[in-house]
Amino acid sequence: MSEALAPIKFGTDGWRAIIAREFTFANLERVAQAYADYLATSKQEALLSQLLAVGQVSRDEVESSMFRGVISKATVGAPTLVVVGYDRRFLSEHFARRAAEVMVGNGFRIALFQEAAPTPVISWAVKELRAGGGIVLTASHNPPDFNGFKIKAPWGGSAAPETTAAVETLVDANPAKRSAFSSDGRELLAPAIKSYREQIASYIDLDRLRRSQQTIVVDPMHGSGGRWVESLLAAGALKVETIRGDRDPLFGGVNPEPIDSNLGPLKKRVVETKALVGLATDGDADRVGAVNEMGETMTMQDVVPLILLHLARNRKMTGGVVRTFSQSVLLGRIAAAHNLKIYETAIGFKYIADLMLKEEILLGAEESGGIGVKGHIPERDGLLNSLLFLEAIIAAGKPPSEMLRELHREFGEFHFGRRDLHLEAEQGITLVKSLASQPPSEFAGSKVTDVQTIDGLKLIFEDESWLLFRQSGTEPVLRIYAEATSINQVNLLLDEAQKVAH
């Protein structure tokens, strides 16, 4: 297949592909042009809707090609601002500049970040600058040979599925238009970044954290989180050490995803420094991970319930709780105990963000480390959530392992595990469909009491333990997840599931 015809498909959060194979400058231009066309069309449709609403035009007039031409010209005079940012991956800064050139070529103004920045900071800038949208060149937690194109909505969150679907349909509708630019809008970004820091300081009691006599270790995994957490906690008694804080497009030889198999250096350093906790962020710093004081990785099925309990019990905050299809049973139990409404969505933070825009949501979380909280932008923020988890630990006055034991005593003991099997997407999808068409009545010796297919295939057992098969939406990986009342049962479920997958 020629490069010009390489398919462009948006997954769970953005278009991602392998650098120099599908992710090339030529294909990037195709995607950027489609997004430019989408923004232009949306602007015209918004004006038409306003004119219809006030009765200035009729539906028949709107449908005429002549009137459409007038509207097209009317919307050209006020260039929309688009924020463009990027991560630390190979060529990201060059890809970002190329995307910016396409936006300028289509008559948009740009605010182009001058260095790699955390995705939540870029997202905040989109909202703060009231931009028409944003582009982030990042493949987030994916392997080092990937890069990606994320679209940010005006409110700062990930673009809705309807938006990315519309952009997909516009790929190759028009040839890419590029233009060099003399003004990159950088002067707009410094106040937005300052505003982001002020938002963090207003949300988190940083002074209380800084007064702690403890040590913490921060691990951005060579990603764009860099030394952001350390800088936000500077100038206090708290000792903050950052490891893997420099740029390395190969991420030290691991995928920049803060899960157990990738956090060896953080676990080791936490033990060496006798730290209270280790905090990690993924490649673009929108996800969080944690290691307890004993150097053991905490899953998001541990961290998220503890954060929720802190928000509901210590901060006395209210609102709904959103869990994605692979999140913990414990969130439902904590929500019930505090009279908080529980929602469940497909996997992908865009589904959580959609609810956060429509309902009063206290917390929304996915198993992979993406957490959104009330009072912030409806988006994942690994920096804020690292600090929020630290705040929960300091407020408890106990190490994370003891906090977790108390959580289990109160709400029930559950453990979690996940395995990623490298299968081509078509193979994984076929397997999931096959299992869904004829689900087992018993699995690994446990009776299946319910079967759910919100996103993949989920088997629910009598004690609320569960097993999920799901093909990734961003890479050729079949994921199997399990949550059960003991580590042994988790491993048994995963072992049996892996046999089925092979």
pLDDT digits (tens, 9 = 90+) for 278-318: 999 999 999 999 999 999 999 999 999 999 999 999 999 99
φ, ψ dihedrals at 216, nearest 5°: -130, 155
Greater confidence, 62 or 436? 436
Question: What pLDDT is attached to residue 469?
Answer: 96
Least confident of 76-85, 251-260, 321-330, 402-411: 76-85
Question: What pLDDT is attached to residue 60?
Answer: 62
pLDDT tens-digit map of 462-486? 999 999 999 987 678 999 999 999 9
In which element (H, E) is residue 277 found? strand 277-281
Question: What pLDDT is attached to residue 79?
Answer: 83
pLDDT at 75 over 80: no
Which residue in 78, 112, 98, 86 sits closest to 180, CA to CA?
98
Strand pairing of 297-298 and 442-443?
Answer: unpaired
Which residue in 179, 178, 168 sits closest to 34, CA to CA?
168
- What is the torsional sign of CA 467, 477, 168, 122? positive
**pLDDT exceeding 70 applies to what percent of the chain?**
92
Question: What pLDDT is attached to residue 297?
Answer: 97
How does residue 381 score in pLDDT terms, banded at 50, 70 and 90?
very high
How far apart (Å, rounded) are the C-alpha atoms in residues 362 and 322?
Answer: 8
The string over 450-483, giving b where at least 16 C-beta atoms fall within 10 Å of a residue's C-beta and e elsewhere, is eebeebbbbbbbeebbbbbbbbbbbbebbbbbbb
Give me the mean pLDDT over the 125-135 stretch.
97
Query: Are 266 and 124 within 8 A, CB to CB?
Result: no
What is the CA angle 130-134-258, rounded to 5? 120
pLDDT tens-digit map of 152-183? 999 999 898 899 999 999 999 999 999 999 99
φ, ψ dihedrals at 413, nearest 5°: -90, 120
How far apart (Å, rounded) are the C-alpha atoms in residues 130 and 272?
Answer: 45
Least confident of 53-62, 238-247, 347-356: 53-62
> Which distant-in-sequence residues (6+ apart) come within 8 Å of 13 by Cβ?
140, 150, 158, 348, 349, 350, 473, 474
How far apart (Å, rounded) are the C-alpha atoms in residues 210 and 280?
Answer: 19
Neighbours of 417 (CB within 10 A): 18
In which element (H, E) is residue 126 found? helix 119-128
How far apart (Å, rounded) are the C-alpha atoms in residues 120 and 134?
Answer: 12
Give me the mean pLDDT over the 107-120 stretch.
97
SS (H, E, C) 430-488: HHHHHHHHCCCCEECCEEEEEEECCCCEEEEECCCCEEEEEECCCCCCEEEEEEECCHH
- What is the torsional sign of CA 140, 142, 143, 146? negative
Question: What pLDDT is attached to residue 368?
Answer: 85
How far apart (Å, rounded) are the C-alpha atoms in residues 340 and 16?
Answer: 36
Give me the mean pLDDT over the 226-241 stretch.
97
Strand partners, 481: 418, 468
All domains of the chain in start order, with CATH: 3-194 (3.40.120.10), 210-411 (3.40.120.10), 415-501 (3.30.310.50)
pLDDT at 241 over 60: yes
pLDDT at 104 over 50: yes
Question: What pLDDT is attached to residue 348?
Answer: 84
pLDDT at 59 over 50: yes
Least confident of 44-58, 169-183, 236-250, 282-296: 44-58
pLDDT tens-digit map of 198-229? 999 999 999 999 999 999 999 999 999 999 99
How does residue 74 score in pLDDT terms, banded at 50, 70 and 90?
very low
How does residue 350 score in pLDDT terms, banded at 50, 70 and 90?
confident
In this structure, what token pair is assigned to residue 502?
């092979």
Residue with tokens 């800064």: 93
Residue 353: strand, helix, or coil: helix
What is the pLDDT of the chain when averaged over all its residues? 92
Residue with tokens 């009765």: 55
How far apart (Å, rounded) are the C-alpha atoms in residues 207 and 184?
Answer: 36
How far apart (Å, rounded) are the C-alpha atoms in residues 489 and 481?
Answer: 12
Question: What pLDDT is attached to residue 63?
Answer: 56
